[in-house]
Structure 1
C-alpha cells in the first residue's frame, strides 16, 4: 500500500509532466493562425483604373475585413513613372503628366505620416477621387477637400513641397518592381489580375487559414 509520501511524490511528478509537456495544437488551430495575405498595389494618382480599384473595391471592402486579420495593405503610388537624379533631388516623369507626379507625392506623404491602414485608405481614397475628378487641376484644393478625413493638410503640403516628399517618392520608386500595367496587384508576392475586380474572393482564395464567414458571402 502506498504511503502518504509516495502518493505526494507521484502527484508532484504528474503535475511536473503536465506543466512541461508541450501544448497540443490541432491542425485547425494552426490554420486559424495563418498570416494575413499581404496585398501590394503599384498605382498612379491619375490612373482611371487605379482610382476605380481604390475607391470602389479596396476602400469599401476594408471596413468589412479590417478586424479579421485577413489582409494587410501596402500602397505604392509610383506606377509607370520614371526618375533621374539631378543634384541632391530626384526628377520624376509620369505617365499622365506632371500633375500625376505631384499627386503621387501627396499620397506618398499621406502613407508615410498615417501608417494606420484605415486612416490611410480614407485619406488616399478621398484625395484620389477628388484629384482625378478635376484631372489633377489643383492638388492643394483636392487635399483641402479631404480635411474631413483627419489629414493634417499643412503637414502634407510641407512634405510635398520639400525634400522629404521628394525622397519618400524615391523610396516608392525603389520598392516598385517590374510590372506591365497599373493597378498592378500582388497577393503574397504573386501578381493577381483577378484581384482588381474580385479582391475579396481572391484574398480568401489565397488565405491559408480557416476562411472567415465573409469569404462565403
Structure 2
C-alpha cells in the first residue's frame, strides 16, 4: 500500500527512466496514452490515475480560496513561499481557487467594465493576464502564475512564463482575452466573487478554507498551510505528506529566497506596499534600504532573527544530472517545495555530475555524460550557477529542470531570477577554465562517495547514504528532515 501511495500524483518518477526520445516535461507524461508510451511510463500512469481516483472517492479535498492582486508584495510572498510548494505536495487533497482582483474597484462604462487597481494600471494588466490564464488553460496554469509572481517583474515575465510552461497557448490568443470582451467579463466575475465575501475582505491576500474565513484560519494558512490542510482532510492524511508525489505540473521559475517568509506577518505597509519597490522578492531583505523601499522592514528583521541557527541544519546532498528524468522529477516535485517550506533547518547541496565520466587531455578535463553532450552542457551551466550566484542558484536550477527544454530555459531563467548575472558572465564560466575546474571538483566529490553511487539522483543525509534514507528522502523528505532536526521545529513539521 505504501508503494502505491507514492504514485498519488500523476506520474511516478522513481521507477525507471523514460528514454531520451521522450521530449515531454514530466507533468505531461500521463497526459495521453501516446505520451505515456513515448516516455515509457504507461503502466505507472495507469496505476497512478487509478490510485488518485480511489483517493478522491473517499473524501473531498480541502478547498483553498485565494483572493489577491498580481503586484501585491504580501500576495507574491504567500504564493511563492507557501501556497505553491503546498499545492505541489498536497495536490490530491487540496482544491485551489485563485481570484485575482483584491482591492480593485470597478465601474460600468456603456458596454464594458472599467477597473482601477490598488497598485496602478500595471496591476490591472497583471490581474487580467492571470484571470485569462485561469480561463483558457487547465494544466500548468498555477505554475505559470507562480512563474510570474516569483520573477522580478511579473508583467514583463508573463510572456516568457507562458512560452516556457504553456507552449500550446499563443501569446496572441492570451492578449485577445486580456484586451477583449472575454477578459472584461472574467474580471467582472472576479469582482463579484470578491464583493460577495463574508465577512468582506479588508486586506490581501485574503484566504478562505472550505469557504470560510477567520483570522485564525488566515494565520494558520499563512504560516503552516501543509499541516492545516492535512489536519482538515478527512481521508487518510498523507503520511501522504510522507508520499510527496511524483510530478507536479512542472514548475517554473523561480522564487524568492523563500525561507525568509515562513514567519511572515501581514502589516499595513506590506498590504499596501508601494509600486516604487522594484526589487524582486528574493532581494527585499538584502539591505535595510531595500526592505524600507518595499515596505517589509519589520518582516525582514523578524525573519533574520528567526533564521539565526542555534542547532545545525540537516544536510541534504543530491548528486544529479541535468537531463536525467528521475533527477528532474525529484527536484521539481519533492526537493524544491520541501526546501522552500523547511527553510533554514535544511542545508542543501546540489552536485551536478552523476554518471558522467572524465578524462584529461593534457590541458583540461574532458567529460562524457550519460545523456549526451547536451547534458554535459546543462551540468556545466548548473555548476557555474552554484559558483556565481549563491542566493538564487537553486531557484534557477529548479526553473530549468521544470521547463520542457532544460537548456533552452537556462537563459530566460537566469534573466528572470538573477538579472544581476549576465548570461555572458555565466557562459564565460561554462566555456572557460573555471567551469572545467568546477566540473572536475564535482567529479571528485561524486567519485569519493561511500558507498559508491549506482544511480541518480543519489542522496546523502548528514553525509550518509543508505537505502532507507534514500527511500525516505525521495518519498517523504519533510518528515525525514523534521524528525532529524534537533532544534525548534518550524510549523510545517506539524
Residue 85 in structure 1 maps to residue 108 in structure 2: yes
Report SS of the residue matched to 1:190.
coil
Residue 76 in structure 1 maps to residue 99 in structure 2: yes
Q: Equivalent residue for 2:176?
A: 158
Q: Equivalent residue for 1:123?
A: 144
Q: Equivalent residue for 2:70?
A: 45
Report SS of the residue matched to 1:144.
helix
Give the drift of 1:61.
Answer: 2.5
Q: Equivalent residue for 2:59?
A: 34
Give the drift of 1:215.
Answer: 4.4
- Whether the aligned pair in 2 keeps the contact of 1:187 and 1:206 (CA below 8 Å) is no
- Whether the aligned pair in 2 keeps the contact of 1:39 and 1:187 (CA below 8 Å) is yes
Q: Equivalent residue for 2:165?
A: 149
Question: What's the CA shift string for 1:64-103, capped at 9, x where partnerless?
Answer: 222xx31101000011111111111111111111111111
Q: Equivalent residue for 2:235?
A: 209
CA distance in structure 1 between the partners assigned to 2:241 and 2:204 by the alignment: 26
- Whether the aligned pair in 2 keeps the contact of 1:50 and 1:183 (CA below 8 Å) is yes
141-150 or 166-175, which moves further after superposition? 141-150
Question: What's the CA shift string for 1:112-157, capped at 9, x where partnerless?
Answer: 01133xx111111112223xx23x6xx3x32222110115222111
Report SS of the residue matched to 2:81.
helix
Q: Equivalent residue for 1:187?
A: 209
Q: Equivalent residue for 1:5?
A: none
Report SS of the residue matched to 1:213.
coil
CA distance in structure 1 between the partners assigned to 2:63 and 2:85 by the alignment: 18
CA distance in structure 2 between the partners assigned to 1:214 and 1:34 by the alignment: 14
- Whether the aligned pair in 2 keeps the contact of 1:53 and 1:197 (CA below 8 Å) is no
CA distance in structure 2 between the partners assigned to 1:80 and 1:38 by the alignment: 22
Question: Equivalences for 1:47-66 in 2 at 5 Å?
Answer: 47-66=72-91
Report SS of the residue matched to 1:209.
coil
- Whether the aligned pair in 1 keeps the contact of 2:90 and 2:241 (CA below 8 Å) is no
- Whether the aligned pair in 1 keeps the contact of 2:75 and 2:205 (CA below 8 Å) is yes
Give the drift of 1:187.
Answer: 1.0
- Whether the aligned pair in 2 keeps the contact of 1:51 and 1:129 (CA below 8 Å) is yes
- Whether the aligned pair in 2 keeps the contact of 1:84 and 1:90 (CA below 8 Å) is yes
Q: Equivalent residue for 1:6?
A: none
CA distance in structure 1 between the partners assigned to 2:239 and 2:122 by the alignment: 42
Aligned residues: 179
- Whether the aligned pair in 2 keeps the contact of 1:183 and 1:196 (CA below 8 Å) is no
Q: Equivalent residue for 1:9?
A: none
Point out where structure 2 has 5 or more consecutive residues left out of the alignment. Answer: 1-53, 243-478, 480-494
Question: What's the CA shift string for 1:148-207, capped at 9, x where partnerless?
Answer: 011522211111111111111101111112212111111101222120221111111221
Q: Equivalent residue for 1:171?
A: 189
How does the TM-score come out when normalised to structure 2?
0.34
CA distance in structure 2 between the partners assigned to 1:115 and 1:169 by the alignment: 18
- Whether the aligned pair in 1 keeps the contact of 2:103 and 2:118 (CA below 8 Å) is yes
